[in-house]
Chain A
Amino acid sequence: MFYKKNHSQVNFFFLLTLTFIFYLYGKEWCSYLGIEWAIKYPKQFIFPLKIYISSFVKWLMNEAHFVIFSFKDLTRSISWIIEQPYQFILSLFAKGFYKGQGQEAQLILPPLSWIAVTTIITSLAIYTKDKVLVALVSLSFFYLAVFGQWNSAMITLSSIIIAVPIGVLLGLSLGIASYKSKIIEKIIRPVLSLMQTIPVFAYLVPILVMFGFGPVSALIATVIYAMPPMVHTTILALKGVDPQIKDFGLISGCTNRQLMWKVLIPSSKSTIMVGVNQVIMLSFNMVIIASMIGAGGLGYDVLTSLRKLDIGGGVESGLAIVILAVALDRLSQAYVRLRPESKSKNQSIFKKYGLLLICLAVMAATYLMGFVSEFIKSYPEELSVSTSVFWENSMRFINVNYYDLLESIKVFLLIFFLMPIKKFFIAIPWPWMVIIITITAWHYGKFKLSILTFLLLMFIVISGLWEKAMITIYLCGSSVIIACLIGIPLGIFAGLNKKADRILTAFVDTLQTLPSFVYLIPVVMLFRVGDFTAMIAVILYALAPAIRYTAHGIKNINKELIEASLISGCTPRQLLFKVRLPLALPEILLGINQTIMLALSMLVITALVGTRDLGQEVYIALTKADIGRGLVAGLCVAFIAIIADKIIVASSNRLKIKYGIM
């Protein structure tokens, strides 16, 4: 790369100038030459894939038959299987057990009391012997009760309790299968990246058609969305096991099964748990969308309060989601760190099972006392606290006093930043855009990547969604630029300063788990509907990885290198710009990569404030229940994501080689 630097730089500037010329004169040239198709892809050449998909799904649901059962029977029995444990957990935590149906039902067993649930979860924390965690977890659950979120929170918790194990088990088995067979891995990888990048709204309708209406479909959508990282980490974890350990297992005569479950998986447990952790967090991300198709719970509360413009109510339910997510996340992380203790045999039963006994005792006691005291059965409504008025008033204060200031900032950014970018992307004829992106892919990833890029881009073109795709790229692109401008410096700061790191971590966790709907409405109030509002929402959501990865990259630099540079007389400034940043660059690039992925996944949400991009296309398809249209638009989003991802990963790998990290 070094010796080619000048050469490629010249090329780069040549292409850039050419692109700029196309931006300025492309339109006129094309109409002069009579090739209008280069500006706007002609309608009659659009490949009607969406119609084929729609009729395929219809056929699948209405006619497809395997020898003795139909496709519909198959999907419905799957949902029946998932339904059973879900109903049990839901009854246990939220609804109680009933006999009979509808209003004739009689309560046999009430749900667990809030005191019992808090005790159980606190004992789980006590087991890890981490005092901070115990305080965090018990306070969190107490918050849910005090702020009147208990019932909804338990409904949400129930679906998480079902979705996470399914996601983990499926992910683990797919991961193991791909570890064992190269072919399976080859097939699974692209499917996974599609699962991660197709907006959820795109496959919501097909899922509903297949798995029926209700919480089960919501659970399945959650699993599809949350499972891919589990597969990735499982593969990574198994490959990362020290070969000597594996050999040792083989020598001692393990069968294949024993080798997997007694040797490989236990020794890669901590990496696998990272995947579990991701599944939990992503499942919480789905809470709002799942509630749109029947999951209920906290997500539903957020939606209804915001429809009433009850911002306070939305914030409270939203924070409850954050708290639940953070509590479960920290708990699962603590279990990762937990080392199996050597069990001494002469412990008394009480010492061994003490916590379990206490839990059972509390469950029984609260059950019995529930008949006498309402307080124990369910936290009384009149004792619950609400901060609704506070949020309402602060919003009004900001709105009335600072609106003009915010408006002028907005207008400035619109005129000098957003609009020019938008014009640029829309004005360039699509053939040139396809060429330039393909060339970029070829530069970083060679032949294979450039072919893939070209095919994916052409798919967008022949679907007739090019213009919407360009608006998508413009909106995501500008948001990512700003998110990086804010996030990377913050990340550097966090990487250098421990205290800042702790505060920013909490901030980032909140941003990632707080449903974007909660801040979308206040943002609309301050900035009105339009691209700018959409951009702010995207930035807020996509900021997190920019901060996280940068901080991680800065922190993980080899200490000896830093010392060496200090000895050779670097000033702090030089140390940062000449040593730390270049060394952290691959990590930062991955952060940018993740920022782009998150920005794209926010697209559908931005359609809710009125953008005209692919997100809107997906959303329209959803509201019209048009399966084919939604999936095609969803695929376009996914393809943009895949192209961006591959190019950035390829360039990051190059950098790693350049700086000798890999």
Chain B
Amino acid sequence: MKFNNKIITLMSVVFLFAAHTVRAEDSKDPIKMTLHDWTGQLITTNIMAEVLKKAGSNIELVQADYLAQFAGLQTGDLHLAMEMWETTGRDAMDEYTADGRVVNIGSTGMEGIEEWWYPSYMKDVCPGLPNWEALNDCAEAFSTAETSPMGRYLGAPVTWGGFDDERVEALGLDWEVIHAGTDAALFAELESAYQRKAPIMLWVYAPHWAPAKFDGEWVEFPEYTTECYTDPSWGTNKNSAHDCGKPRGPIWKVASSQLEEKWPNAYKAVESFTLSNDEMGSMIVAVDLEGGTVEGVVAEWMANNKSKWESWIK
């Protein structure tokens, strides 16, 4: 055994050395990675940063707004953003990747889920759920003074898109869509309703702490296909598009074009980075609900997944 180990070590040293001489050198300047204001993104970014540090890169973490950061990526003030959700960042991403100064370097492996969601206690009131066809029967149970007799669905900020107004129209739902302004407002309502066991139907997304903290389910709409959004004749409503659920979208990594030019090795490592929804979900819970720190949780992940991240920087 011992002998084997030594040989392996020796081989890997030789191998690394060989690889090292072949490799193009990365610049010594710090790679500027952006931090946003939600836990999942902090975890993703910190894992990537730790891994790149192990590979010898120089890392600087910079606080930046989710969408405003594109301006910085374009000019090369910032270099790498680890989470750009297909579902919310598409427009901005398309705009800035157009001239090639910002590049999409593939999926993080995580997939954003977004859909209508309700707490489990509402199943007692509306046993037909999660099937979407039950929505009309229970609309009144979900109504408030402002929307009565229509059900009240709390949608995401208008900027997130999602076609909920169109969906309600196309599926003939007796529901009114109210848009929250931010996700903090969205989950504040959920928390409040959950404390009182009051009716609520709202937009919840994952990976996020909310589906872990609150017991509930996503409504099952007819499954999304591209035709559903583009072709009116598809689905139950022959005259209208959007008569299905929401697409699930990858979470992308985006970078300044400088990343590949100045730090080709780091670029490769970032390209290989993947995490699963489950891994991310449990780490978010550890931080947001169990009071752990981002650094602690990331260190734990690094310790437990050594082979995984070593393969990224190989």
Looking at the complex, which one of B72, B157, B288 makes contact with A610 (CB distance below 8 Å)? B157
| Complex Cα–Cα for A212 and B89 (A) | 21
User: Using Cβ atoms and an 8 Å threshold, which residues of chain A touch B67?
Assistant: 622-625
Q: Is B303 an interface residue (CB 8 A)?
A: no
A616 interfacial by beta-carbon distance below 8 Å = yes
CB contacts (< 8 Å) of A520 on chain B: these are 185
Is B63's CB under 8 angstroms from A294's CB? Answer: yes
Instruction: Report whether A608 and B196 are in contact in the complex, using a CB–CB cutoff of 8 Å.
Output: no
CB distance A102 to B30 under 8 Å?
Answer: yes
- Assess whether B65 is in contact with A308, with CB atoms less than 8 Å apart: no
| A-contacting residues, B226-264, CB 8 Å | none
By beta carbon, the residue of chain A nearest B187 is A309
- Please, how many angstroms separate the alpha-carbon atoms of A473 and B215 in the complex? 41
Residue of B nearest to A611 (CB): B181
Contacting pair A609 B182 (CB below 8 A): yes
B185's contact among A204, A214, A304, A521, by CB below 8 Å, is which?
A521
The answer for the CA separation of A408 and B182 in the assembled complex, in Å, is 25
- CB <8 Å contact, A101 and B58: yes
Which residues from B are CB-within-8-Å of A521? 184-185, 188
Which chain A residues numbered 300 to 329 have a C-beta less than 8 Å away from chain B? Answer: 300, 303-304, 306-309
Q: Please report the C-alpha to C-alpha distance between residue A204 and residue B69 in the assembled complex, in whole angstroms.
A: 11
A606 neighbours in B (Cβ, 8 Å): 181
| Contact B58 A104, beta carbon cutoff 8 Å | yes
Contact of B29 with A101 in the complex, beta carbons under 8 Å: yes
C-alpha spacing A293/B157, complex, angstroms: 20
Nearest Cβ in chain A — how far from B224, in angstroms?
A: 24
Q: Which residues of B contact A102 (CB under 8 A)?
A: 30, 53, 57-60
Q: Which residues of A contact B209 (CB under 8 A)?
A: 308
Give me the interface of B with A, judged by CB distance under 8 Å. Answer: 28-30, 37-39, 53, 57-60, 62-72, 75, 77-78, 91-92, 95-96, 144-146, 154, 157-159, 178-189, 191-192, 195-196, 198, 209, 288
Which residue of chain A lies nearest to B155 when distances are taken between CB atoms in the complex?
A610
Contact B38 A623 (CB under 8 A): no
Cβ B196 vs Cβ A205 within 8 A: no
Cβ of A619 under 8 Å from chain B: yes
Contact A411–B145 (Cβ < 8 Å): yes
* CB atoms of B185 and A524 under 8 A apart: yes
The answer to whether A209 has its CB under 8 Å from any CB of chain B is: yes
Given A103-B59, A610-B178, the answer on whether A529 and B185 have CB atoms closer than 8 Å is: yes
What 1/0 flags go to A283-305 for Cβ under 8 Å of B? 00000000111111000100110
Nearest CB of chain B from residue A491's CB, rounded to whole Å: 31
B99: nearest chain-A partner, CB-CB: A62
* Distance A309 CA – B194 CA, assembled complex (angstroms): 13
Whether the Cβ atoms of A529 and B158 lie closer than 8 Å is: no
Q: Please, which residues of chain B bring their CB within 8 A of the CB of A205? A: 68, 71
Cβ of A403 < 8 Å from any Cβ of B? yes
A residues in contact with B65, CB < 8 Å: 292-294
Question: Does A400 make an interface contact (CB < 8 A)?
Answer: yes
A21 within 8 A of B: no
Min CB gap A156→B, angstroms: 13
**A638 to B53, alpha carbons, bound, how many Å?**
47
Contact of A213 with B64 at beta-carbon distance under 8 Å, contacts A102-B59, A619-B159, A623-B159 already known: yes
Report B72 CB to chain A, min CB distance, Å: 3
For residue A534, which residue of chain B has the nearest CB? B181
Contact present for A293 and B64 (CB under 8 Å): yes
Partner of B63, one of A103, A209, A300, A619: A300
**Structural contact, A304 and B159, CB atoms closer than 8 A:** no
The contact of A296 among B58, B63, B154, B189, by CB within 8 Å, is: B63
Q: Which residues of B contact A400 (CB under 8 A)?
A: 195-196
Q: Specify which of B62, B146, B184 is in contact with A294 (CB 8 Å cutoff).
A: B62
Distance, CA A290 to CA B59, complexed state (A)? 23
User: Is the CB–CB distance between B64 and A525 below 8 Å?
Assistant: no
Closest 5 CB pairs of A and B: A213-B72, A102-B58, A525-B192, A608-B181, A610-B181
* B145 engages A407 (CB within 8 Å): yes
Docked pose: A526 CA to B288 CA in angstroms: 23
Q: Which residues of B contact A308 (CB under 8 A)?
A: 39, 209, 288
Q: Once bound together, how far apart are the Cα atoms of A293 and B70, in whole Å?
A: 12
Interfacial residues of chain A within 48-102, with CB under 8 A of chain B in the complex: 101-102
Known: A101-B29, A102-B30, A294-B64. A620 touches B184 (CB 8 A): no
B-contact 0/1 string along A601-636, CB 8 Å cutoff: 000001111110000100110111100000000000
Q: Which residues of A contact B159 (CB under 8 A)?
A: 619-620, 623-624
Contact residues in B for A625 (Cβ distance below 8 Å): 67-68, 70-71, 92, 95-96
User: Which of A103, A209, A306, A624 is the one whose CB lies under 8 Å from B184?
Assistant: A306
- What is the CA–CA distance of A622 and B77 in the complex, to the nearest angstrom? 19
Q: Which residues of A contact B92 (CB under 8 A)?
A: 623-625
User: Which of A103, A209, A300, A411 contacts B71 (CB under 8 A)?
Assistant: A209
Distance, CA A620 to CA B182, complexed state (A): 11
A294-B62, A625-B92 known; A214-B77 Cβ under 8 A? yes
Q: For the complex formed, measure the closest distance between the CB of A215 and the CB atoms of chain B, giving whole angstroms.
A: 8
Secondary structure call for the B interface: mixed
Q: In the complex, are the beta carbons of A619 and B77 less than 8 A apart? A: no
User: Quick check: A624 and B30 within 8 Å, CB to CB?
Assistant: no
Chain B residue nearest to A408 (CB atoms) is: B145
* Residue contact B37 to A307, C-beta cutoff 8 Å: yes
Residues of B within 8 A of A485 (CB): none
A293, B58: Cβ atoms closer than 8 Å = no
Distance between Cα atoms of A464 and B146 in the complex (Å): 28
Q: How far is the CA of A204 from the CA of B65 in the complex (A)?
A: 11
Is the pair A295, B63 in contact by a Cβ cutoff of 8 Å? Answer: yes
Contact call B178/A214, Cβ cutoff below 8 A: no
Chain A contacts for B72, CB-based, 8 A? 208, 212-214
19 A-B interface contacts by CB (under 8 A): A103-B53, A104-B58, A205-B68, A205-B71, A213-B78, A295-B63, A414-B146, A521-B188, A528-B144, A530-B178, A609-B181, A610-B178, A610-B180, A616-B158, A619-B181, A622-B68, A623-B92, A623-B157, A625-B92
Q: Report the bound CA distance from A520 to B189 in whole Å.
A: 12
Chain B residue nearest to A401 (CB atoms) is B196
CA distance A208 to B65 in the complex (A): 11
Contact of B69 among A213, A296, A524 (CB under 8 A): A213
The interface residues of chain A lying within 8 Å CB-to-CB of B187 are 309
Q: Name the A residues within 8 Å of B62 (CB-CB).
A: 213-214, 294
Report whether B75 and A526 are in contact in the complex, using a CB–CB cutoff of 8 Å. no
Are A103 and B37 within 8 A (Cβ)? no
| Residues of the A chain whose Cβ atoms lie less than 8 Å from the Cβ of B186 | 529
In the assembled complex, which residues on chain B have CB atoms less than 8 Å from the CB atom of A239?
none
Q: Closest CB-CB distance, A74 to chain B, in whole Å?
A: 14
CA distance in complex: A300, B35 (Å): 11
Residues of B contacting A212 in the complex (Cβ-Cβ under 8 angstroms)? 72, 75, 77
CB-based nearest A residue for B152? A528
CB distance from A526 to the nearest CB of B (A): 7
B196 to A403, Cβ gap below 8 A? yes
A396 close to B (CB within 8 Å) = yes
Shortest distance in angstroms between B68's beta carbon and chain A's nearest beta carbon? 6
Assembled-state Cα–Cα distance A611/B180 (Å) = 8
B75 CB, min distance to chain A CBs, angstroms = 7
Please determine whether B37 and A303 come into contact, CB atoms closer than 8 angstroms: yes
Q: Which residues of B contact A608 (CB under 8 A)?
A: 181-182, 184-185
Q: In the docked arrangement, what's the CA distance between A307 and B62, Å?
A: 19
CB distance from A313 to the nearest CB of B (A): 11
Which residues in B have their C-beta under 8 angstroms from that of A403? Answer: 192, 196, 198
| A-side contacts of B58, CB under 8 Å | 101-104
Contacts of B183 in A (CB 8 A): 307
Question: Is A268 positioned at the interface, with any CB of B under 8 Å from its CB?
Answer: no
Chain B minimum-CB-distance residue to A292: B65
Set of chain B residues within 8 Å of A333, measured between Cβ atoms: none
| Nearest Cβ on chain B to A502's Cβ, whole angstroms | 34
Q: How far is the CB of B182 from chain A (nearest CB, A)?
A: 5
B58 and chain A: residue at smallest CB distance: A102
0 or 1 for each of A195-223: is its CB under 8 Å from B? (1 = yes): 00000000011001100111000000000
CB contacts (< 8 Å) of A624 on chain B: these are 67, 91-92, 159
**Is A651 located at the chain interface by the 8 A CB criterion?**
no
Interface residue A151 (Cβ < 8 Å from any Cβ of B): no
